[in-house]
Structure 1
Amino acid sequence: MYAIVEIAGQQFKVEEGQEIFTNRLAGDLDAALVFDKVLLVDNAGAISVGAPTVNGASVKATIVEHLKGEKVIVFRKKRRKGYEKKNGHRQALTKVKIDAIVA
């Protein structure tokens, strides 16, 4: 059984027991979350597609940890002008464990 759910503006294909990384979510460690924007549910071949969401479907999850992603280097340069700018960014992430899919 899997579901496609919208979490923090992004769509994820999730299964029970799976751990995913999302953009930073509000909440403490081991806090329970419920995601109601379920777009599709596949239950052993029986597919339910929402318009836009599946009625009565939800995904229950738990926050495992808050962390930062890998550093991304942004380097800008204009040739022959002496212009160089280097900047780095680390995205704030939340690791979430999917506990149950209710359909």
Structure 2
Amino acid sequence: MYAIVEIAGQQFKVEKDQQLFVHRLEGKEGAKVSFDNVLLIDNAGKVNVGAPAVAGASVSAKILEHLKGDKVTIFKKKRRKGYKVKNGHRQAFTKIQIEGISEKGAAKKAEPKAEVKDAPKAEAAEKKAPAKKPAAKKAAPKKETKKED
């Protein structure tokens, strides 16, 4: 069983007991997190695709550690101008372990829409009908000129 889930703005294919690095997550080491934005679930050949997310599905994970990635050096130079800039960056990552994938867990209830509040807005829109534009004037017919020989 595997799932495609969106974690910190990126999509990952995850399976149970898999460890992966994601962009830094809030939470302490050892804390449990769950991700509700599950885009696809494959359960022994039975594929459930969400539109855009599978309703009621979630992926639970455990934060193992927070760490930094390899250093990336950025060097800018414009030749013959004396312009050089050297910069570096280390991305912050979180190592997580997937503990489980559930298809029907923690389903959110949809709140009923209040139709009473929408009705006055619709009536106000009908009252404020847009003013009719005056009809466009037609161009005057061109006068024919006679040539004399």
The interval holding the TM-score normalised by the smaller chain is over 0.9
Q: List, as ranges, runs of 4+ consecutive aligned residues in structure 1 with deviation greater than 6 Å.
A: none
> Match for residue 24 of structure 1?
24
Q: Counterpart of 1:82?
A: 82
> Alpha carbon RMSD of aligned pairs, Å?
0.6
Tell me the equivalent position of 1:67. Answer: 67
Aligned length: 103
CA distance in 2, matches of 1:60, 1:68: 23
Shift of 1:62: 0.2
Is the strand fraction higher in 1 or 2?
1
SS of aligned partner of 1:11: strand
**Aligned mates of 1:62, 1:43 — CA distance in 2:** 22
TM-superposed deviation, 1:82: 1.3
Read off the aligned partner of 1:11 and give its amino acid letter: Q
Instruction: Flag structure 2 segments of 5+ consecutive residues without an equivalent.
Output: 104-149
- Distance in 2, matches of 1:33 and 1:95, equals 12
Q: Distance in 2 between matches of 1:41 and 1:32?
A: 21
Structure 1: stretches of 5+ with no match in the other structure:
none
State the 1:87 CA deviation.
0.3
2:53 aligned residue:
53
CA distance in 2, matches of 1:36, 1:43: 17
TM-score, structure 2 normalization: 0.68
Structure ID, larger Rg: 2
TM-score normalised per structure 1: 0.98
When you count helix as a share of all residues, which structure comes out higher?
Answer: 2
Higher relative contact order (CA 8 A, sep 6+): 1
SS of 2:12 mapped into structure 1? strand
Match of 1:65, as an amino acid?
E
Counterpart in 1 of 2:106?
Answer: none
SS in 1 for 2:22: strand
SS at match of 1:30: coil
Identity over the aligned pairs, expressed in percent? 65
